[in-house]
Amino acid sequence: MSRGAAMLIMGVFTLYFLTPIWWLLVSSSKTGGDITGTAPLWFTADSIPTFFANLGNLFTYSDGVFGRWLANSALYAGLGALLGTVIASMCGYALAKYEFRGREAIFNVVLSGVLVPATALALPLFLIFSQVKLTNTLWAVFLPSLVSPFGVYLARIYAAASVPTELLEAARLDGSSEARTFFTVSTRLMAPALVTIFLFQFVAIWNNFFLPLIMLRDQALFPVTLGLYAWNSQISQIPELRVLVIVGALVSILPLIATFLALQRFWSSGLGAGSVK
């Protein structure tokens, strides 16, 4: 294949991947009528003031519920992924670096957990949570999000490859406790894997739709995806929501894109780990 053909393929697909996002950005700076009435992929004369007006409307509509949704998503995804990463990495690390009875059995159970996806569990989880009267609470979305079998799998593979057993022996001889060795030495060696686990769990929780959809009735508990979905399905009755949905969509993807860009150095090295073995 020639250099020209290769660049052409990549160029065409760059348009495919970026045009919808560009359209979202441009449309966020238009009034409701201008979204369909003007050139779709370019700004209008008063784009900048319109953009800020839209943004203002977004955060004030219905008592600022959108800000609440963003905060909920940040809590579910941010704190959930952080705790989930710690929990998954401890387990994966133990499976990689210690010999104990039932180790393979545990790992196999975790692996089958990887193959049973979160969405298949949404209804079973709903049934369980309604038994203990915890549906329509923050916990119903937060607690199940902490479990990441894929995180355990990644942590195990990465710990086996990057934490030398000699180092653990040396730490033991120095009198360091197992937990201290893990938190001060091993986690540092596993950093790329930890960032990867965090990021992918963050995205998985941020994007999770079925669980909040089935668990939550109270708008004040919605994550931002469910909130925007709810607005979007009311557009035919309340047309002014259309602009808010578009601006809200833009605002809701910015934190993710920013997180990915900021942590790029880490995830691009950790991502391959899952397929090494």
Shorter beta-carbon distance to other proteins: residue 48 or 120: 120
Question: With CB under 8 A, what is the number of residues at the site for other proteins?
Answer: 107
Shorter beta-carbon distance to other proteins: residue 31 or 232: 232
**Could you tell me the two tokens for 184?**
């001060």
* Subset of residues 136 to 165 that bind other proteins, contact rule: CB under 8 A: 143-144, 146-147, 149, 152, 160-165
**Could you tell me the two tokens for 102?**
């039932």
206 binds other proteins, rule: CB under 8 A: yes
Residue 144: CB minimum distance to other proteins, A: 4
- In this structure, what DSSP letter does residue 39 have? -
Number of other CB atoms surrounding residue 24 within 10 Å: 14
Q: What is the DSSP string of 102-160?
A: THHHHHHHHHHHHHS-HHHHHHHHHHHHHHTT-TTSHHHHHHHHT--HHHHHHHHHHHH
User: What is the C-alpha to C-alpha distance for residues 84 and 76, in angstroms, rounded to an integer?
Assistant: 11
**Which residue in 53, 126, 136, 185 binds other proteins (CB under 8 A)?**
126
* Subset of residues 22 to 81 that bind other proteins, contact rule: CB under 8 A: 23-24, 27, 35-36, 40-41
Instruction: Considering only the stretches 43-51, 57-65, 209-217, report the one whose residues sit in contact with other proteins under the rule CB under 8 A.
Output: 209-217
**Could you tell me the two tokens for 133?**
């009267």
Tokens 């979905």 belong to which residue? 229
Q: Mask: binding to other proteins, 92-111, rule CB under 8 A, as x and -? A: -xxx--x-x-----x--xx-
Residue 198: CB minimum distance to other proteins, A: 15
Compute the half-sphere exposure of residue 177: CA atoms within 13 Å on the CB side of its CA. Answer: 3
**Which residue in 31, 44, 47, 269 binds other proteins (CB under 8 A)?**
269
Residue 50: CB minimum distance to other proteins, A: 16
Residue 28: CB minimum distance to other proteins, A: 11
User: What is the C-alpha to C-alpha distance for residues 160 and 167, in angstroms, rounded to an integer?
Assistant: 13
* Subset of residues 159 to 198 that bind other proteins, contact rule: CB under 8 A: 160-166, 169-170, 172-173, 177-179, 182, 192
* Subset of residues 232 to 261 that bind other proteins, contact rule: CB under 8 A: 232-233, 235-236, 242, 245-246, 249, 252-253, 256-257, 260-261
**Sign of the CA dihedral running 218, 220, 221, 227:** positive
User: What is the C-alpha to C-alpha distance for residues 57 and 153, in angstroms, rounded to an integer?
Assistant: 44
